[in-house]
Amino acid sequence: MRELQVQTKYGKVQGELLQGASVWKGIPYAKPPVGELRFQAPTQPESWDGIRQATEFGPENIQPRHDSEWMGGQKPPESEDSLYLNIWAPEKESSHPLPVMVWIHGGSFVTGSGSLPVYDGTQLAVRGDVIVVTINYRLGPLGFLHMAPLGEGYVSNAGLLDQVAALQWVKDNITAFGGDPNQVTVFGESAGSMSIAALMAMPAAKGLFQRAIMESGASQFMPAEQASALREGMLKVLGVDRDNLEKLNSIPVEQIMAAAEVVKQQSGAGMALLFQPVLDGETLPQVPLQAVSEGSAKDVSILIGTTLHEGALFIQPHVPYSKDIDMVQGVNFMTPDLENRVAIADSYPKTADGQAQVMTDMFFWRSALQYAAAQQQHAPVWMYRFDWVMPEHPLLKRAIHSIEMFFVFNTLDALKFMKAEPDEAAKALALKVQDAWIAFAKDGKPSVAGIKWPEYSKDRATLIFNHEIEVVHDPESSKRELLGV
C-alpha cells in the first residue's frame, strides 16, 4: 500500500484512496499570484506546518463561462489564487520510480482547468502504472497579456511560466510520490498542446521533460507588436496609464475580465485567439516552429496528431452557411505564410461543413505536419489521427476537436453530458488509445497491440484510430501538397 501522507519540499500533504488510485488534490506549486504578484512571474509557494489535507481540487483560474456542460459538472469555484496541481498514483507501492505524465489542459488559453472530470487520472495511473499530474495555470489576460514592456517586474507569458513552475515542482517533489523526475512526459490538447510547442522553445523549460504528446495544437504565437496593441487597449478600458500602473494590483479581477471582453468585441477577433503565447524576446524568444527546427528541443521525442474533423466542434455541420465567416480572411489568419491562400479557400465547399474543414486543415492538421517535420530532424516523432465517430449522434457524427481526450483518460462516462452512450467497441478503443499513450510515456515509443507503427518520416506513417486501427502512409497527400507541407 502506498503511503498517503507525503513530505514535499514545502510541507506534508495528506491524500486519499479513490477507486484504486492514491490521489492528492489542490497542492500549491506557487504563491497565489494576487495583489503585487498579479502579472508577475510565479514564485515558490510558502511552506506550511502540520499536515495539509490534499482532498479537494484547488479553484479554477478566473475565466469566462459559457455552456461547458458537456465537459461535465456544475460551475466550480474560481479564483486568481489558482496555481494548484493534482496527482494520481497506483495504489500499490512500486519497487522502482514510475514514469510521470503531466497534463496541460486546453481551452483557447482562456478557459479550463486540471480538475475537469474528463481529465480524471485514475484509469491512466492504475492501468498504466504511471504517475499522472494535472495542473492549473493563469488564463486570458491574467496569463497572456504582454506586460513585460511595462517594467515594474511585469512579465509576458505568465501562463507559460506557471507551467514551467509546475514542471519544476514536479522535478523537485515527484520522487516522494513514487515518480521518476527524469522520465517526465508532458501531454496536452488544443491550447495545452500549443503550450507544449511553446515550452519546447522556451529556455526556462529546458530539461524539465523528456517526451511530449501533442493533441490538436502546435506552434502558435502572437507577434509583440500585435500583443502590445492588445495590452494598450486593455489599459485604456481599465483607465490605467504609465503614471498609475500600481492600480493594476488592486483593480478587481472582474473588471480585468470585463475589459478583456470589451477589447475582444472591439477587435472583431471572432474565433481568433485573443490571448496566446507572445513572442517577447525573453520568455519566448523565437517562433516555436522555428526554434524546434533549429534544435531547441533536441532529443525530446513527440507523439503528435489531430482529429479528422477538428473544425466541426466550432462550426457545426447542421448550421446554415454563414457569409459572416470570411474563409479567405480565416485562411489569412491561420496560415499567413501560404502564398495561394485565396485559391485554397475557394477549393472548399461553400457550406458550414466546408468552413469547418478549412479550420481543420489549415489551423490544426497543417500546423501538426509542420511541427512534426521540424522536430523529426532532432528526435523520434510519431503521428496519429483520431477518426472515431458515433454516426447517430448530432455532434459526434464527426470526429470533433477534443473528442480523443475522453479516450486518452478513459473517461468515456463523462460523455453522458453530451447525451452520448459509448458502446463496447468505443470502450475497447479507449484502452488501445490509452495503451499507446502509456507506452510512449514509459518507453518513448507508442504502440498498439497487433499493429506495426513506424516513426513519422519521409513516408509520413500515420496511425488512424477508428473502429478499425491501421497505419496509413501520407494520408490525403494531394490536400497536404496543396497546403504547402
Given 82, 156, 190, 195, the catalytic residue: 190
190 is an active site residue: yes
Q: Is the pLDDT of residue 272 over 90?
A: no
310 a catalytic residue: yes
Distance from CA of residue 441 to its chain's centroid? 17
Residue 139 belongs to a domain with what CATH number? Answer: 3.40.50.1820
Residues 118/69, Cβ–Cβ less than 8 Å: no
Q: If you average pLDDT over residues 11-35, what whole number do you get? A: 97
Place of cell 477587435: 267
User: Is 420 part of any domain?
Assistant: yes
Residue 460 lies in a domain: no
Q: List 100's β-bridge partners, or say none.
A: 131, 184
Q: What is the distance between the alpha carbons of residues 431 and 435, in angstroms, rounded to a whole number?
A: 6
Mean pLDDT of the chain: 92
Residue 479 counted as domain residue = no
Full-prediction pTM beyond 0.85? yes
Q: Dump pLDDT digits (tens) for 33-73.
A: 999 999 999 999 999 999 999 999 999 999 987 654 445 55
The whole-angstrom separation of Cα 335 and Cα 365 is 12
Note whether residue 206 is domain-resident: yes
Q: Return the axis-axis angle of helices 253-267 and 224-238, rounded to nearest 10°.
A: 120
Is residue 309 among the annotated active site residues?
Answer: no
Which of 105, 309, 378, 401 is flagged as catalytic? Answer: 401
Residue 89 domain-assigned (yes or no): yes
Q: How many domains does the chain have?
A: 1
Query: What is the distance between the alpha carbons of residues 338 and 336, in angstroms, rounded to a whole number?
Result: 6
Print the domain residue range for 186: 5-452
Annotated active-site residue in 22, 310, 402, 447? 310
pLDDT for res 70: 43
Q: Hey, which residues does 135 pair with through a beta bridge?
A: 85
Per-residue pLDDT of 429-478, as tens digits, reads 999 999 999 999 999 999 999 999 999 999 999 999 999 999 999 999 99
In a domain, 335, yes or no: yes
358 pLDDT higher than 70: yes
Q: Is there a domain that residue 481 lies in?
A: no
With b meaning 16 or more CB within 10 Å and e meaning fewer, what string describes 390-426? beeeebbebbbbbbbbbbbbbbbebbeebebebeeeb
Residue 477 in domain: no
* Cα 143 → chain centroid: 14
